[in-house]
A and B are shown apart, each in its own frame.
Chain A
Amino acid sequence: MLILHPLLGLRDAQEFTYLGDASIIDRPDGLTEPEAFHDYLYLRDNPAGVHKELWFHEQGDRSWLVVTRNTVTHEILGAELARDYARGRGRSR
């Protein structure tokens, strides 16, 4: 697989380490009830189709990317810096 890194261009997926569903960005911060953390950490949509997911450019510039990929065809529809994606989800500090 090849991933179009937003800064570095097309890179082999082997340079990256995979984490999983990008929903793991939506952490219920604070001293929240365990139930919210349970759903956040353990439950997944796991779609057969378009999936937003986290890849770490471990053998590269060490940026985390949110890659949009089809889990049935493996087609990659886009990739952006996870930092930007996270800010878009309202995360800050």
Chain B
Amino acid sequence: MNQALRQTEGFVADLPQAALGPSQVQRVGAGLVDRSRTLSFTFDGRAYAGHPGDTLASALLANGVRLMGRSFKYHRPRSVIASSSEEPNALVELRSGARAEPNTRATVVELWDGLEARSQNRWPSLAFDALGVNDFVSPFLTAGFYYKTFMWPAAFWEKLYEPVIRRAAGLGRLSTEADPDAYDKGFLHCDLLVIGAGPSGLMAALTAGRAGARVILCDEDFLLGGRLNAETLAVGGQAGTDWARAAVAELAALPNVRMMPRTTVVGAFDHGVFAAVERVADHVAAPLAGKPRQILWRITARRSVLAAGAIERPIAFRDNDRPGVMLAGAVRAYLNRWGVAAGRRVALFVNNEDGLRTARDLDARGVDVVAVIDARPEGERLPGIRHLKGAVVTGTAGRLGLTGITVRDAQGREERVACDVLGVSGGWNPTVALTSHHSARPVWEEGIAAFVPSLDGPKGLGVAGAAAGALSTHGALATGAARAAEALEDLGFRVSSVDLPEAEDAPVRLRPLWHVSGTGRAWVDFQNDVTVKDIKLAHQENFRSVEHLKRYTTLGMATDQGKTSNVTALAVMAELTGKGIPETGTTMFRPPYTPVSMGVLAGRSRDEGFKPTRLTPSHKWAREQGAVFVEVGMWLRAQWFPRPGETTWRESVDREVLATRKGVGVCDVTTLGKIDVQGTDAGAFLDRVYANTFSTLPVGKVRYGLMLREDGHVMDDGTTARLGEHEYVMTTTTANAVAVFRHLEFCRQCLWPDLDVQLVSTTEAWAQVSVAGPNARRLLERVVDGDISDAAFPTMACGNVTVCGGLRARLFRISFSGELAYEIAVPARYGDALIRELMAQGKDLGATPYGTEALGVLRVEKGHVAGGELNGQSTALNMGLGRMVSRKKDSIGMVLSQREELVREDGLRLVGVRPVDPTAVLKGGSHFVALDKEAVAANDDGWLTSVVHSPHLGHQIALGYLRNGAARMGERLRVVNLLAKTEVEVEIVSPHFIDPEGERLRG
């Protein structure tokens, strides 16, 4: 293959490895890049040079590289067709290792020195891709072919067909390493959010900024100015780019204006809330230390103006996906903004005036415009350029790159025209995406043959410029100023009359042309390989609704979300059904406008920082003791306190349990919810929210309370103490603290608003420590000021006390373990000191810290319910606490707790479980089955809710819910764990394994 052929085919793509590419052979002007500095980068391992201001796409084109990717299904060779975020073809893998970023559009990658990019979805190389074979068998791979085959034999789907399909599908590779970069979130507020900094957006921002409104101006590009930077148009008597630069400078000087380049507004949400992604460090190799890669901004705007411009659409014709076939506006943008001639011999295929600008600009720069194929028979011809009227392009040639096109003229004669680039303009589609995020459907505007925003888009959002269908520069400036002025007047600002700079107001003169009919494949959706034929097949098979069409053919489902294809597809379907385009359907867009990294949506919420961590007051002390911690909701609690020589957790836990039952154990129980309930109606209020009665509780006493949901199931349990005539302190379980408080406030504010009762959550205010065991009183007597003898402070007593010579505290004589036990609370900031004091004072009494595991053992030994039993599916009756539900008073849940299925005699009851063989191992969650019955659902008698090893009894014990359990004491059953294929014979016993008479706690 000689050099010349290479250049017309794949350009430099198949040169040997490591060779340096030709140095920017296509760079024909300065454009807006900084040619004083050179940046080096690599693509597929080959080194190239570019300049600040380049995108990866412009730099590749400057270097004569146009083969940039492969399509999804047929693996067709592809090049860039666009110059902005709508690009469907030029997707690359950027960076490497953990920072590798698949599916990155080369058109939005701002070049940096050392940039590294690779092509994707090809093997072994971009120029030779084995799966290119798909293209040759494409007749078999039409829309929806997979729904009609791969069904036999059934087992082959997962084993053979699907793995092959999965491997062939997908695009780039996701690294399996953790994303190393940080992301941030922020909140912004403004009077006017302007989305897009082209002529209309700049004009809107100027209008609002000058009036003193708080303005935020966002643009996805790194260079503000929009299409002005891609054109040679004049604004206000100067070059458009210069006007844009001056406008930006003026805005930058206004303190009330915040300009946010590299920031894409991706979604419009309720009540003026927008999501925007700022790419802080995507234009450098890696974020600066301590800085985020991207920021997710939630912008709350009182009013907003969408000035997002328009996207040019291709025309479908045979083999229109050849590398070198581009959008005419993109060819112009590469020339004017980046000084890059996309080709050396350029042809254009247009159906409107705008496409002719490309011919003029190229011609002015001395690029050979070989022909302008103009589908419109009418109108003037361009001087000095071969301008064919009423002609169409019917095909293309070239393997890895365009070498020529076939043109059919108005008389039907076909001729071949040699060229390396074909610029296509089928008209412009306003970028209406954000206007339909609230489900408003865009409306058809015949004049420009495109959808424009409907008036019932998001409230407070105005649309200006090309996004509103005002496609001229004058139209953009005028509507930008007008929308801003309207918004400001709405908000009560005084707007001085706006001086509109002079600008062109050329008509579009578009003659709709969606596709050129003929044989062969004409692409509509480039990335997903959807052709006109596929749309015809969908029509033939009755997938005619737009949504059916999209889903059946996958049209518009690629990474570009159909930005260049949706309207064309609709038009082709409209032709087939014989209906108009708006009658056929509309295109709808959903957030995000462009794809958003998952990392930025998560922000800082990841790894150990995924959720806040709540620490108990004794945490520091527990850490010093070498405690093992466990997550309990948001809390970290000490699980057990290993001692030297202990090799298993069981050893530690057994020791803690025995030490508590023998001497005294100390445990931080601050995590329990604590709610102060005060007021003259506090007792009456508690009577209504608890199933049992509290108004009769004497001052200075504590009572166990059972709280139901209105549906009669147990919501929570805990103790409530009466500290004064009108003062109660309620405790809740750790898990339900928040929900119970919310529920009580609901009862107080919504159900009985005139009860005199006030609630304050004091969970964080008090450090609370359980002191349990026969030596509990002796220990506390050394800490508590005053008399706490059994006579002065009997079982279930409570009161305000002082400790350590005057520190206010609350003391409750309550027991979860069944031992003589107290809970003592001090202001949270003294929690650490309290536990140290208790441990110091208790040395000779055998004071032992215990964690949540021992706590669990102690309570199961005593038969108290907790998380495993309080599962939201259980009633008081299930728990054996049915008699606690007072039928004499109205309380939440009482009435509905009496429904027939909830009061069945043979329903589930809490039972104790003892393995017949004391060495047997039980597993929580195992199910009860009768000894003589098969383990099937019909014989399922319930399950084990909590299993612990009781060091006191020397074997495992469990609690469980057993069908008809009350009547089955002493019965032998088996508990089966079918997951481990084990079963254990057990005896049903009372759930009170230790001290059923309660002698110990009265000790």
Contacts and interface: CB of A to CB of B under 8 A. Distances in A.
Judge A-B direct contact (beta carbons within 8 Å).
yes
Interface of A: 1-2, 17, 19, 24-25, 27, 29-34, 37-38, 41, 54, 56, 58, 62-64, 73-76, 81-83, 86-87, 91-93
B751 interface: yes
A82 B751 CA distance: 9
A64 B742 CA distance: 9
7 contacts: A1-B269, A1-B273, A34-B895, A38-B896, A56-B746, A58-B738, A91-B750
Identify the interface centre among B746, B749, B752, B894: most chain A CB within 10 Å of its CB: B749
Nearest to A64: B749
B271 A2 contact: yes
Given A2-B300, A31-B890, A75-B459, A37 B895 contact: yes
Contact of A2 (B273, B745, B749, B754): B273
Contacts of B764: none
B354 to A, nearest CB: 37
Contacts, number: 79
B840 interface: no
Given A2-B273, A38-B896, A41-B896, A83 B459 contact: no
Nearest to A34: B895
B363 interface: no
Interface of B: 269-273, 300, 438, 459, 681, 710-711, 738, 742, 745-746, 749-755, 887, 890, 894-896, 898-899
Contacts of B754: 87, 91-93
Contacts of B898: 34
Contacts of B271: 1-2, 74, 76
A31 to B, nearest CB: 6
Contacts of A76: 271
Given A34-B899, A41-B710, 8 more contacts: A25-B750, A25-B751, A37-B895, A38-B896, A56-B745, A58-B738, A74-B271, A75-B459
Given A30-B890, A86-B750, A64 B745 contact: yes
A83 B749 contact: yes
List the 4 closest pairs (A to B, CB-CB), nearest first.
A2-B271, A93-B754, A92-B754, A83-B753
Contacts of A1: 269-271, 273
Contacts of B738: 58
A57 to B, nearest CB: 10
Contact of B750 (A17, A75, A82): A82
Contact of A93 (B681, B746, B890, B896): B681
A87 B753 contact: yes
A92 B752 contact: yes
Nearest to A33: B895
B771 to A, nearest CB: 33
A75 B271 CA distance: 7
A33 B742 CA distance: 27
Contacts of B752: 91-93
A76 B459 CA distance: 12
Identify the interface centre among A19, A37, A38, A75: most chain B CB within 10 Å of its CB: A37
Identify the interface centre among B300, B746, B750, B898: most chain A CB within 10 Å of its CB: B750
B887 to A, nearest CB: 8
B25 to A, nearest CB: 54
Contacts of A73: 438
Contacts of B300: 2
Contacts of B273: 1-2
A37 B896 contact: yes
A91 B751 contact: yes
A63 B749 contact: yes
B755 A93 contact: yes
A2 B300 CA distance: 9
A91 B896 contact: no
Nearest to A56: B742
Contact of A34 (B270, B750, B896): B896
A25 B750 CA distance: 6
B892 to A, nearest CB: 9
A38 to B, nearest CB: 7
A46 B7 CA distance: 67
A29 B890 contact: yes
Contacts of A38: 896
A75 B459 CA distance: 9
Contacts of B750: 24-25, 54, 64, 82-83, 86, 91
A54 B895 CA distance: 23
A91 B751 CA distance: 7
Contacts of A62: 745
B272 A2 contact: yes
Contacts of B711: 41
A17 B754 CA distance: 23
B732 to A, nearest CB: 15
A37 to B, nearest CB: 5
A32 B889 CA distance: 11
Contacts of A32: 895
Identify the interface centre among B272, B738, B745: most chain A CB within 10 Å of its CB: B745
Nearest to A85: B750
Contacts of B899: 34
B612 to A, nearest CB: 13
A92 to B, nearest CB: 4
A81 B300 CA distance: 24
A27 B300 CA distance: 38
B744 to A, nearest CB: 10
Contacts of A91: 750-754
Contacts of A33: 895
Contacts of B745: 56, 62, 64
Contacts of A41: 710-711, 896
Contacts of B710: 27, 37, 41
A27 B681 CA distance: 19
A83 B751 CA distance: 8
B896 A92 contact: no
B585 to A, nearest CB: 21
B751 A17 contact: no
Contacts of B887: 31
B753 A86 contact: yes
A19 B747 CA distance: 13
B189 to A, nearest CB: 10
A64 B899 CA distance: 30
A49 B913 CA distance: 54
Contacts of B270: 1-2, 74
B106 to A, nearest CB: 37
Contacts of A87: 753-754
Contacts of A93: 681, 752-755
A25 B746 CA distance: 9
A71 B710 CA distance: 26
A87 B271 CA distance: 30
Identify the interface centre among A31, A81, A86, A93: most chain B CB within 10 Å of its CB: A93
A63 B681 CA distance: 19
A76 B710 CA distance: 29
B890 A82 contact: no
Contacts of B681: 93
Contacts of A81: 749
A26 to B, nearest CB: 10
Contacts of A54: 746, 750
B753 A92 contact: yes
Contact of B895 (A17, A31, A64, A82): A31
B742 A27 contact: no
A29 B894 CA distance: 11
Contacts of A37: 710, 895-896
A80 to B, nearest CB: 12
A27 B711 CA distance: 13
B687 to A, nearest CB: 13
Nearest to A93: B754
Identify the interface centre among A29, A30, A34, A81: most chain B CB within 10 Å of its CB: A34
